[in-house]
Amino acid sequence: MNTEESPAPALLNPLTFEEARVLGCLIEKENTTPEYYPLTLNQLVAACNQSSNRDPVVGFDDGTVQRALEGLKSRQLAFQLTISGARAQKFKHNFLAKFARIEKPTLALMAVLLLRGQQTAGELRQRTERLFAFPDLAGAEAALKELMEYPEAALVVQFPPCGGRKATSYAHLLSGPMESQSSPVVFVAPAVEASPMEADWKLRIEQELAELRAEVVRLRSLVESVSPDA
């Protein structure tokens, strides 16, 4: 397929790199940590800055993510929730309302393409396992074809083997044709530099807290199940 003839989806203006990263994180976390979804701003910043399952790894600050959210909200791809009793605003993606024909297999592919850029079908099949388990490579390729042939406009473009890749690769088109997509803007810390391990540290803390909360719920349920009636 000729990438020069692959238009950006007509359903929205091209996303910036930051907007694509935030959208991908919202889709991913809805499926991998549903107990903490929708996400607070802090949770979304940590998700964007993960060192795993991200390419490139970035160091966004709150302002960068907030601006990306505003851009997504203006395209009706995300919205903000006010939850009674909650101390912080939370955010959800609205991808399925905007792209009504997307289903779980194709949504998983879009999330990983948004988070990791151009990849082969084999890489995508492996990296979407936590979101959707394709039974075989042919299944992933069939879902990619659906995205390439999305009725309103192609959402994915295919590239022949090149640049050291021995297999066909794919990229999303939500940020426009590949040659016009903006380069990532990596946050540079102001006067007081953050430790290069800060993003990983925040992620580990959030993950450990999530695991501890889940363990408390499990133990409480276990105690209640074995306790005699009062």
Let me know: does 69 contact 22? Beta carbons within 8 Å.
Answer: yes
Q: Which overall architecture, per CATH, does domain 7-181+199-223 show?
A: Orthogonal Bundle (1.10)
Entry pTM: 0.74
Assess whether pLDDT exceeds 60 at residue 230: no
* Residue 162 binned pLDDT confidence (cut-offs 50, 70, 90): confident
**pLDDT for 57:** 98
Interacting residues of 107 by C-beta distance below 8 A, sequence separation 6+: 27, 95, 96, 131, 132
* Residue 164 binned pLDDT confidence (cut-offs 50, 70, 90): confident
**pLDDT for 82:** 81
Q: What torsion do the CA atoms of 67, 29, 185, 156 make, to the nearest 10 degrees?
A: -100
**pLDDT for 202:** 58
Angle at 138 between CA 161 and CA 52, to 5 degrees: 70
Residue found by looking up tokens 């309302």 in the block: 97
Let me know: does 32 contact 50? Beta carbons within 8 Å.
Answer: no
pLDDT digits (tens, 9 = 90+) for 147-158: 999 999 999 999
**pLDDT for 195:** 44
**pLDDT for 1:** 43
Let me know: does 119 contact 169? Beta carbons within 8 Å.
Answer: yes
**pLDDT for 85:** 73
* Residue 88 binned pLDDT confidence (cut-offs 50, 70, 90): confident
pLDDT digits (tens, 9 = 90+) for 187-217: 433 333 444 444 455 566 666 666 666 666 6
